[in-house]
Each structure stands twice: as structure tokens, then as C-alpha cells.
Structure 1
Amino acid sequence: MKRKPMSGESPMTRTPLSILDLSPVPAGGTARDAVRNSVELAQKAEAAGFHRYWLAEHHIATGVASSATAVLIGQVAAATSRIRVGAGAIQLGHHTALSVAEEFGTLAAFYPGRIDLGLGRSGHRKPPPPGVKIPEPPKQEPKVIDGLLVPGPFPIGRAARSGKLALENSLLHLPGSTPVDYADSVHDILAFLAGTYKSGDCVQAHAVPGEGADVQPWILGSSGGESAILAGKLGLPFAAAYHVAPAGVLAAIDAYRSAFRPSQWLSEPYVVVSADVVVAETDAKAAELAAPYGLWVLAIRSGKGARSYPSAAEAAAYNWTDEDRELVTDRVDTQLVGSPATVAAKLAVVRAATGADELLITTITYDHADRVRSHQLIAEEWLG
């Protein structure tokens, strides 16, 4: 059974390569520069042959500037002409189904055939009540499966205790409101796009713009849980987040493929796998550029949220504890770092071990020029 081509899909002979961008803000930089850098990188990515350019939704973090995701998608789409542009992913816990359909319907009205709508569960997770401790996932030794490093899950207690999640929820949700069930939100968005939405008492509602829009829905996930299974049942393409939660990538893909049912979107599963990547002319130079990454991840994993990306000097001066290292080891060890040939070989392992139909890379460096060069180098090596 052949997979139905998705809207705007290019007939690349090699596995397509795409980009996930967080609009990173380096230490000493500004959000204004970060979003403009994203537009510039997208333009260069299109010229280099990347397939799609996604922007992530994050909030109240000083180190990423992609919070107004739909607005930034519009700016990137306006500055490019062919590359697909979209969200990776909209955090449905912070939005209503109608607002998402309207926003992305508006984008599709301007850029038909180019807009991807990635949907994620973030924002539905509630912080624990005071005094309630979230159990840590059971410890697992790292494994190498078909050449792919699959580390154990990272400890989550430190982030849960920080209070950052509770603050984010209070700032993004109206007082007294609670997020709609994730699966219900996805179903409602699809119904709005199809023009079939009806309330429980059979009253119709329409998303304008949105209804009939040429938008490609996706679901993103990091484990074998609800997101992966829902993507499969709905016959939607699925993006597995190796870069965020490498411990769960294979379980997520397996759950998606096991649950898959053919749909108007796909006749067989379509999987994108993400990876953190830093490329430079030599392995040594790439390792130097990637050195601050662990300190940046530490801020996220400790519950402070993404900080401004540190310089090499700041990272070198940090006094690491064993607890700190435990929080970031899985992310640091699965970052793909090196020369173009080195990273291409590592990406080939990711593709083979996961059966990915497409690879999605995310790259953060202190200097924007190094980030642009990293993408150009891997495109030359991978896409030819």
C-alpha cells in the first residue's frame, strides 16, 4: 500500500531534511534579532533545499522568541516562496480549537499549499498540588538499538518542583478555565478545517478563515502515549521528538505505526524524526560550538525554562554537580555533532533505526552565523 503524497510534498530522491527552529536568543542578544534571524535562516534553508521549516511554541522563556508562533510563521512564509512552513508544535492546552483553525486558515489563505499545522499536548499538563511529589520514571540503562543511542528517561522532579509550570499555566489560561481534552481538541480542529463541526446539540459552527483551508495537520509526540496513538488512529503524519525525549522515540514510533489507520491524509504511516545537530567544517570545531548546549538544557530541565544561549566562556566556567549532569546526559549524548560527513553518517543511523520518512533537525549555537553555516554544511552533504 503506497503512501498518499502530502500537500506540496517534493519528490526528493534522498530522505527529505527539514528544520525545527526555536528562534534562540543568545546571551547579550535580543528577541528582535532572534526573530529576524529566523526569517533569514528560513530564506537560506529554502535556497539550500530543505523541505519544510517549522517553528516551536514556547512561553515565558528568556532564551527563545517563537512564542507568537502563528505570527512568526506568517513572516517566514512571506519571506520565502516554496518551502513548507508550519508549527512544531502548537501547544493545544493554550488555545481553543476554533482559534487554531482560524489562525492557520488565515495563513493558508495567503500561502496555500505551504502551511503545516503541528499539534502538541503541551499546556494540558497540570502542576502537582503543593506537597505532592511526582514519581520519577524508573531508571533504565542506555541502549544502542540498530546503532541508535536510546538513553534512559531523565529525572523530572526538579522541573516539577520549580513552580515555572504553574506560573505558565496561570499566565496563559483565563482564571478558572481548564484545557479541553487533547483528543477532543484535535478532532474539533479537523472538523473546523473540514467544515463539519457540530456542537453536542448539533448546532453548526464555521471557522472563517479555516474551513476548507489547504492546511496539512500533524501530531508531534515524545512517547508511546496518547499523541502517538491518536496520530495513528486519525491517519495523520507523526513527528517523533528524539531531540526532546530520546528515551521514548522508538516507543512513540511503534505506537503510532501500530495504531495507524488509512485516512484522507495518508494511506500508510509517515514519520518524521527530530534530532539536535551542530555541524562545522571539522569535528573539533563543531564540538567547540556545541559545548554550551548542556548548560542551556540544564536551565530547561531544572524548571527555569530556556535561558539565553550561553557563550563558550560562560559554559566553561559553570561548576557542574552530579545532579546537574544527570539531568542533561541524555540530551548531550544524543546531540549529533561533527563535520558534515560525521553528522550525515549519524543522521543515516537515525533514519535506519527509526525508519524515518523525513528528518527534522534543530540547531542552536551562540553565534547566528555559525547556525546558518551549520545548516548549509549539512544540506550540501545530505541533499547534494
Structure 2
Amino acid sequence: MTLSVLDLAPVVSGQRAADALRNTLDLARHAERLGYRRYWLAEHHLTPGVASTSPAVLIAAVAAATEDIRVGSGAVLLGYYPPLVVAEQFGLLANLHPGRIDLGLGRSAGIKESDLVKHPVFSAPEFIARYRIQQGLLGVREGAVEPPYAEQVGRILGLVGGEHHANVVEGADFEVWVLGSSAGESAVTAGELGLPFAAAYHVSPRTAQDAVDAYRAAFVPSERLAAPYVVVSADVVVAEDEATAVELAAPYGQWVLSIRAGDGAVPFPSPEGAAAFEWTDETRAKVVDRTETQFVGAPGDVARRLDDLRTATGADEVLVTTIVHDHAARVRSYELLAKAWAQV
């Protein structure tokens, strides 16, 4: 099937991170049963509404709880780690679960000097010391910039190919992906290195097509990939009927607003909490690009619209992320979509 899952391990109001993690394992088992191709875990830090802070750790748990579905990161944020650490983590995962692990890479710059005085966690002396050590491991001298993103991705590929004799990495069969949301460095890097590319339509609907076009224009065939391969992501809520889906999706705008206000995603509100929220023209304008491009409705309608997105972008797969307050409704959304997708 050309449908896959992106999971943030969302924390909903009234629950804790432990509940979200248990829900992730349960959803992964359902996704495998329903025939989804991949199950990817996101990476977000200091975010009250997201429990997926360490993709490698969560991938290990999900892969152990399932049997066949591919499990991966969407994405590991390279700004936080030396490439060697990432390569060794995923080398271990691939050795434990051969033929099932995807390493999706993101371009986040990680912690910056300016962040060290803005947040109590970052400004702690022990954090600053560790930050300096990490920058040294990344090859970043004080006052310098990080190595180019393409160079960092290239280091990971080199380790898989046998550089430096990293025994758990050399020959490991994890797939390397690049994720991006615009026609910038990520898309070009994926193309020039001959890697598959995931375009984050759910993050930036206006620029996802440009990202795909830039990737294809830059693509050079490699030993890993002979022709461009594209995944496009989408936010989706499916229910038996449109009215129910709209009700389940109602808190989404408020949740996106919390992200864009700089609060980090708050715990996902309940439909009742969303109904009580007071919107203004200004706050609605801040999230309209996301709310209007969310795929919400009955199964057949959403499946057809997702297929239209796949056709328009020329994508090979669609990566679906569904966040609603009720876990059973979330599982049901994926179930209804899988059945409807088979009929498209």
C-alpha cells in the first residue's frame, strides 16, 4: 500500500506522556494490521503536547512491538547530533530489525548560542558545557557555522559504506531519507545524493510542490536509488461521516496556533475545549493555511482528495498524520482511510 503513518506521539489534554507512548505502540500494531507501509516517528523537544522526543528510542520500541512494517524517523534533527551518533543508533536498529528501518533526516539547526540565555533548561551551566562539547563533535569551532547539511548527510552515508570502520553501521541496511518543506538545501541535498525525499505538505502546504520540483531537478541516480522517489505528508481526520470528522478535527486549529505562538504544541485540546476557545480574525489568519489544507471528512472523500494530492505532486506514497483527542477515534480514522484507499 502507498499509505504510511507519521506519529508525533501526541499528548492530549487530561493525559500524560506515558499514555501517549502506550497509544503509539497500540496504533503501530493497528497500522501494521491495516497494511500501512511505514510507521515514522517525529522529533520534537520541550513540547508539552508531543511525547516523541527521541525517534531512535521510540523506533526500537515500535519495531519490537510489530513484525513487518517499516519503522523510521520523520525526522531525526541533525542539528542536535553528530552524524556518527545518528549512524550508530540506526545501525544498531537495522541489525536488530533487518530490512525494516528508515532513517529520515531533518535539517533543524538544533540549539543556537542565542537559545542559551532564553530558556532555563538551555541556560543551565551543565547544558552550556554539553553544548560546547557537542559543537566540537560536530566540527564547529566557536563563532563558526555548522558543516553544510549535505556534508553531514554524506558523513552518514560514508559510515554505512565503511568509512572509519564503525562496525554496527558498516553494511547496515537502513534506508536514508531526507525530509524538507521548501525548495531549499534539504530538497537539493536529497536529489544530489540520490536519496528518497519526503515533502512536508502538512507543515508548509504552500511550498511542498516547490520542494518536490527542486528535488527532482537536482536528482542524480545513485547506488541506493535509480530514479526520484517522493513521499508527501498530509494531516488527516476520517470518520464515518463528515460531521463527525469535522467535530474530531475542531481542536486542530487551536493546537497549531499554540505552535506558531511559540508555546510549543500544547496538549491537544478536547472538542469541548476547542468549542470554548475564542477566535479572532488575527488568530484565525495565523493558522488558516493549515486548517484549510487538512483532509477532513468521510472515508471515500478523503481518500479521493489524498489521491489528488498524490497525483498533483507525482508522489509515490502519502504519509498520513492524524491527531484527535480520542485514541479510539484516531485508530478508527486510520482504519477507515486504509479501507477507502484500497478502493481509489
> Is TM (by shorter chain) over 0.5?
yes
2:141 is matched with none
Cα distance per residue 1:213-233 (max 9 Å; x no partner): 011000000000000000000
The percentage of aligned residue pairs carrying the same residue is 56
The one-letter code of the counterpart of 2:94 is A
Find the aligned partners of 1:209 and 1:317 in 2 and give their Cα distance: 52
Query: Taking structure 1 as reference, are residues 313 and 373 closer, same or farther at Cα in structure 2, changes over 3 Å only?
Result: same
Bigger relative contact order (CA 8 A; separation at least 6): 1
1:175 is matched with 131
Q: 1:184 is matched with which residue: 133, 151, 156?
A: 151
SS of the residue corresponding to residue 174 of structure 1 reads helix
Q: 2:305 is matched with which residue: 346, 355, 358?
A: 346
Find the aligned partners of 1:336 and 1:65 in 2 and give their Cα distance: 24
Q: Is the 8 A contact 1:102 1:207 kept in 2?
A: yes
Find the aligned partners of 2:309 and 2:124 in 1 and give their Cα distance: 34
2:78 is matched with 92
Q: Is the 8 A contact 2:115 2:122 kept in 1?
A: no
Q: 2:21 is matched with which residue: 17, 35, 40?
A: 35
2:142 is matched with none
1:304 is matched with 263
The one-letter code of the counterpart of 2:79 is G
- Deviation of 1:123 (Å): 2.9
Query: Taking structure 1 as reference, are residues 127 and 366 closer, same or farther at Cα in structure 2, changes over 3 Å only?
Result: farther
Q: Is the 8 A contact 1:239 1:274 kept in 2?
A: yes
The answer for unaligned runs of 5 or more in structure 2 is: 139-145
How many residues are matched?
331
- Deviation of 1:166 (Å): 9.9
Within 5 A, what are the aligned runs for 1:190-205?
190-195=157-162, 197=163, 205=164
Within 5 A, what are the aligned runs for 1:1-384?
12=1, 16-124=2-110, 126=112, 167=122, 174-176=130-132, 177-178=134-135, 180-181=146-147, 182-195=149-162, 197=163, 205-383=164-342
Query: Taking structure 1 as reference, are residues 173 and 235 closer, same or farther at Cα in structure 2, changes over 3 Å only?
Result: farther
Q: Is the 8 A contact 2:248 2:325 kept in 1?
A: yes
- Deviation of 1:316 (Å): 1.3
SS of the residue corresponding to residue 278 of structure 2 reads coil
Find the aligned partners of 1:298 and 1:335 in 2 and give their Cα distance: 14
Q: Is the 8 A contact 1:116 1:217 kept in 2?
A: yes
Find the aligned partners of 1:23 and 1:129 in 2 and give their Cα distance: 25
Find the aligned partners of 1:290 and 1:169 in 2 and give their Cα distance: 39
SS of the residue corresponding to residue 261 of structure 1 reads coil
Structure holding more helix per residue: 2
Find the aligned partners of 2:307 and 2:113 in 1 and give their Cα distance: 38
SS of the residue corresponding to residue 285 of structure 1 reads helix
- Deviation of 1:112 (Å): 0.3
Find the aligned partners of 1:230 and 1:169 in 2 and give their Cα distance: 35
- Deviation of 1:73 (Å): 0.3
Find the aligned partners of 1:261 and 1:60 in 2 and give their Cα distance: 37
Cα distance per residue 1:335-384 (max 9 Å; x no partner): 00001011011101101110111100000000111100000000011035
- Deviation of 1:311 (Å): 0.7
The one-letter code of the counterpart of 2:46 is I
- Deviation of 1:41 (Å): 0.5
Find the aligned partners of 1:173 and 1:80 in 2 and give their Cα distance: 39
Cα distance per residue 1:309-346 (max 9 Å; x no partner): 00111111112223211211101000000010110111
Query: Taking structure 1 as reference, are residues 112 and 168 closer, same or farther at Cα in structure 2, changes over 3 Å only?
Result: farther
Q: Is the 8 A contact 1:253 1:354 kept in 2?
A: yes
SS of the residue corresponding to residue 74 of structure 2 reads strand
Query: Taking structure 1 as reference, are residues 217 and 273 closer, same or farther at Cα in structure 2, changes over 3 Å only?
Result: same
Could you tell me the TM-score, scaled by structure 1's length?
0.82
Find the aligned partners of 1:118 and 1:297 in 2 and give their Cα distance: 23
Q: CA RMSD in A?
A: 2.3
- Deviation of 1:126 (Å): 4.5
Find the aligned partners of 2:71 and 2:206 in 1 and give their Cα distance: 28
Q: Is the 8 A contact 2:80 2:111 kept in 1?
A: no
2:143 is matched with none
Deviates more, 1:335-344 or 1:323-332: 323-332
Q: Is the 8 A contact 2:234 2:321 kept in 1?
A: yes
Find the aligned partners of 2:210 and 2:151 in 1 and give their Cα distance: 23
1:151 is matched with none
Q: Is the 8 A contact 1:229 1:255 kept in 2?
A: yes
1:8 is matched with none
Query: Taking structure 1 as reference, are residues 87 and 302 closer, same or farther at Cα in structure 2, changes over 3 Å only?
Result: same
- Deviation of 1:44 (Å): 0.5
Cα distance per residue 1:67-100 (max 9 Å; x no partner): 0211110111011111100000000000111100
